[in-house]
């Protein structure tokens, strides 16, 4: 079973948005997918509950990992894990033991960039990351292109020795998909094409193993 985790010590950076849409993309591609929510707020589980209203879309197993280890059903191809905010130290080490790919979303703001820098330094000192047992990549989230702050974020990320694989726009489409229990790839193509194409580099990185 493959495992992908979304993690950042700072809350509100879009971990759930990435987790739900990654899970949807692989499920739509035919994989048996489970989505584990480690956050007591339960946003991922709420999204999965909203998804139950639809017929004819791929099922994604809900795993509540707030109180016990994530154990999806036998035969699961992919486990996507939405890690909680405030993750540090030994908790990171424990969580990464079973992670193949780690994605860190970061917002274009001075506060988020400073917090992300500290968090990335902690990750880079982790044995699984330094030995390439867990692959690491960064995604810039809620981006407004052609703004000074995004240019600053892009310059900062470009100087790191970590793959900066793509940016995602600040878009109402993500609010629609979060409210509806659908992935952005399951909304009307005419509405989301300019958002969907920004995911291509991330999936190319994920599939480049």
Phi-psi region of 154 (alpha: psi -120 to 50; beta: other; left: phi over 0): alpha
Q: Residues 169-176: what's their mean pLDDT?
A: 96
CATH number at residue 178: 3.40.50.300
Q: Residues 121-131: what's their mean pLDDT?
A: 91
| 11 has a pLDDT exceeding 90 | no
| 83 has a pLDDT exceeding 80 | yes
Task: Give dist(CA 18, CA 23) in Å, integer.
Answer: 8
Side-chain half-sphere exposure of 193, counting CA atoms within 13 A = 2
Beta strand 2-6 pairing with 164-169: unpaired
Name the nearest CA neighbour of 82 among 93, 95, 97. Answer: 95
Which is more confidently placed, 121 or 67? 121
Q: Residues 137-141: what's their mean pLDDT?
A: 97
Residues 6+ apart with CB under 8 A from 190: none
Q: Does the predicted TM-score (pTM) go above 0.85? A: yes
Sequence-ordered alpha helix ranges (H) in the chain: 15-28, 43-51, 89-96, 110-124, 127-130, 148-158, 172-180, 189-196, 200-206
Q: DSSP character for 36?
A: E
Task: Give dist(CA 61, CA 64) in Å, integer.
Answer: 10
**pLDDT tens, residue by residue, 174-206:** 999 999 999 999 999 999 999 999 999 999 999
What domain range includes position 46?
2-206
Using H for helix, E for strand and C for coil, what is the string for 126-160?
A: CHHHHCCCCEEEEEEEEECCCCHHHHHHHHHHHCC
User: What average pLDDT is seen over the chain?
Assistant: 93
Domain count of the fold of the chain: 1
* Residue position matching structure tokens 């993500």: 174
């Amino acid at each position: 079973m493959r495992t992908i985790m979304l993690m950042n010590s700072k809350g509100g950076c879009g971990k759930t948005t990435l987790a739900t849409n990654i899970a949807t993309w692989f499920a739509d591609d035919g994989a048996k997918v489970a989505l584990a929510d480690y956050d007591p707020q339960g946003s991922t589980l709420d999204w999965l509950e909203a998804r139950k209203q639809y017929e004819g879309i791929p099922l994604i197993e809900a795993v509540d990992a707030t109180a016990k280890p994530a154990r999806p059903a036998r035969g699961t191809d992919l486990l996507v894990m939405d890690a909680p905010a405030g993750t540090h130290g030994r908790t990171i080490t424990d969580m990464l033991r079973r992670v193949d790919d780690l994605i860190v979303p970061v917002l274009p703001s001075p506060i988020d960039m400073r917090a992300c820098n500290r968090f990335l330094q902690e990750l880079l000192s982790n044995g699984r990351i330094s030995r390439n047992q867990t692959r690491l990549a960064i995604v810039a989230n809620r981006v407004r292109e052609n703004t000074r702050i995004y240019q600053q974020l892009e310059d900062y990320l470009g100087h790191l020795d970590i793959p900066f694989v793509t940016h995602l726009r600040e878009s109402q489409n993500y609010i629609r998909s979060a409210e509806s229990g659908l992935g952005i790839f399951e909304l009307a193509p005419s509405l989301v094409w300019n958002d969907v194409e920004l995911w291509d580099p991330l999936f190319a990185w994920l599939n480049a193993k």
